[in-house]
Amino acid sequence: MESRKEVDSLTKWDGSAYVPHVSIDLVIFGFHDGQLKVLLLHWRTGTDWLLPSGFIHHDEDVVDAAHRSLRERTGLQAVFLQQFHTFGEAVRFKHFTKQETMIRLGFPGDTDEPLFRRHVSIGYYALVEFSEVVPTPDQFTDECRWWDVDAVPPLLFDHNDMIKLALKTLRRQLSYQPIGYNLLPEKFTMPELQRLYETILGQPLDRRNFQKRMLSYDILERLEERKTGGAHKAPYLYRFDKAKYDNVLEEGMSFVG
Amino acid sequence: MESRKEVDSLTKWDGSAYVPHVSIDLVIFGFHDGQLKVLLLHWRTGTDWLLPSGFIHHDEDVVDAAHRSLRERTGLQAVFLQQFHTFGEAVRFKHFTKQETMIRLGFPGDTDEPLFRRHVSIGYYALVEFSEVVPTPDQFTDECRWWDVDAVPPLLFDHNDMIKLALKTLRRQLSYQPIGYNLLPEKFTMPELQRLYETILGQPLDRRNFQKRMLSYDILERLEERKTGGAHKAPYLYRFDKAKYDNVLEEGMSFVG
DNA sequence: TATCATTGTGTTAAAAATACGCATTAATAC
DNA sequence: GTATTAATGCGTATTTTTAACACAATGATA
């Protein structure tokens, strides 16, 4: 279905530059139009979508490799990035077998292709500001774009499971930590923040209790401005107090230390 | 300091049988004499202690490799085993540099020794019944024994950090899940269960509120027997209702499903 | 048989989470 | 202009959960 030329360029991947058998997979969440989105890549030779992934240089920390991959796909520097699980199954093919997958991706026959060797993959999820992302494909893909989390198609490998687990982890953390800084623009209204929470948690929240809880964290700063333009009463604009926000996060989520 | 013969036998390790650059580290918790214990190994050629670790066969799931290693160190089959973090720093030496570590462990000079290549390590913690464990060293070690968690010496690599993080994870899970089944003998009293919780959490708990909460989980079965022999009033014996226990755990902690 | 430390089983108070009421406001319709 | 409408700001009850505390019962020891 694809020319040999394209397939050749795919195999130019220099596996020797990376730690073999180890990879990173990224579940990058964004929020737009009242919908939680996830960033997916489209394989050049084929019809399939998958999660952005990355490999680790020999002298590179895994977390740095994750940040690097994230930067390459989004253009963003500092984001909320959290390891959530390591996927260590020997066979990580799900909807298609290894053979089927290799054919679909343009690697017929060559069962020793380094890209398709067994990989232990470390899953990270990221929260990014939708409007600031410049979705950028990598050398294996020709398209990078946002998908609604509840409209994600069957993905390659076990990537659907990864999204599920990342979402589950995000929900748990959201329930007892004031995450959300990285998903919204600098200034936002309380209803907007609430909609974000409702979307991630998948359930409606009481307007008044939500506001009380958010303010109780003492990480929000209310501005004098109000958001005009919409019909009805103009809501106040808020802004995260970065210092206090980081502080709360540090206490609640920090590892080793 | 050690004969060449011993060092040679150490290097007989056949790295080709395993996925390179990936390892497993185990934080095995036990409970005895009102103290939380962790199982450590003593390196044959040297004075240092470290966590039990393992490697992954090419066709083996990581979680299976973890169970296998755990079995080899303890003799136990079914235990509570939970992945808690993957340690991906390029340099994981802490108290000693790589060179110092290699000398201490009897690998002078040979900087290419496969055992000392960079490893991404997947951390698991396990809860086991102290009295049923048969501590067993591996090919690199000459002793395997329990240590009080708060008397653990400086360990090789980043293993002290691993214990810290495993303990933190255990505490968090204990706070909102009825873990403990695997740390106690089949029959136990409520005070014994409470002491276990107090030890892990590191704080005293109210006797009456503790009992109420434990019973509210509806996973304990009170037996007719009482524990005699001790001075004072004889407490009832309890037993976990395995089916209900597994059920609660499944709902609260299951991944990918 | 009295003593003592510990267990079994409550009840009460405080705090947190949840449910709900009503006045205010800014765009829209008339 | 003025009334209407739907959403916001800010408040108060209610329920549920958590934490604090009291007292009788028991079994070995003195």
Q: Residues B173-214: pLDDT tens digits?
A: 998 888 989 999 999 999 999 999 999 999 999 999 999 999
Q: How far apart are CA B90 and CA B110, in angstroms?
A: 19
Check pLDDT > 50 for residue B163.
yes
Residue A2's pLDDT is 44
Q: Burial, A14: exposed, middle or buried (Cβ in 10 Å; 0-12, 13-18, 19+)? A: exposed
Contact of B53 with B24, CB cutoff 8 Å: yes
Give B85-123 pLDDT, tens digit per residue. Answer: 999 999 999 999 999 999 999 888 777 888 999 999 999
Protein CB footprint (7 Å) on chain C nucleotides: 4-11, 17-21, 24-28
Protein CB footprint (7 Å) on chain D nucleotides: 5-12, 18-22, 25-29
CATH of domain B184-253: 1.10.10.10
Fold of the CATH domain A186-253 = Arc Repressor Mutant, subunit A (1.10.10)
Residue B249's pLDDT is 87
Nearest to B181 by CA among B136, B214, B148, B140: B214
ipTM score over 0.90, yes or no: yes
Show residues, CB within 7 A, near nucleic chain D: A 189-191, 207-209, 211-212, 226, 231-236; B 206, 208-209, 213, 226, 228-234
A55 contacts in chain B (CB < 8 Å):
none
Domain ranges of chain A: 4-173, 186-253
Give B230-242 pLDDT, tens digit per residue. Answer: 788 999 999 999 9
Residue A7's pLDDT is 55
Q: Structurally, what CATH architecture does the domain formed by A4-173 represent?
A: Alpha-Beta Complex (3.90)
Residue A249's pLDDT is 87
Please list the ranges in chain A whose pLDDT falls under 50.
1-4, 257
Give B36-57 pLDDT, tens digit per residue. Answer: 999 999 999 889 999 999 999 9
B168 contacts in chain A (CB < 8 Å):
255
Nearest residue to D5 (CA, C1')?
A232
3-state secondary structure of B189: strand
Residue A149's pLDDT is 98
Closest CB from B21, B22, B255 relative to A85: B255
Nearest residue to C24 (CA, C1')?
A233
Check pLDDT > 80 for residue B12.
no
Give B133-142 pLDDT, tens digit per residue. Answer: 999 999 999 9
A21 contacts in chain B (CB < 8 Å):
19-22
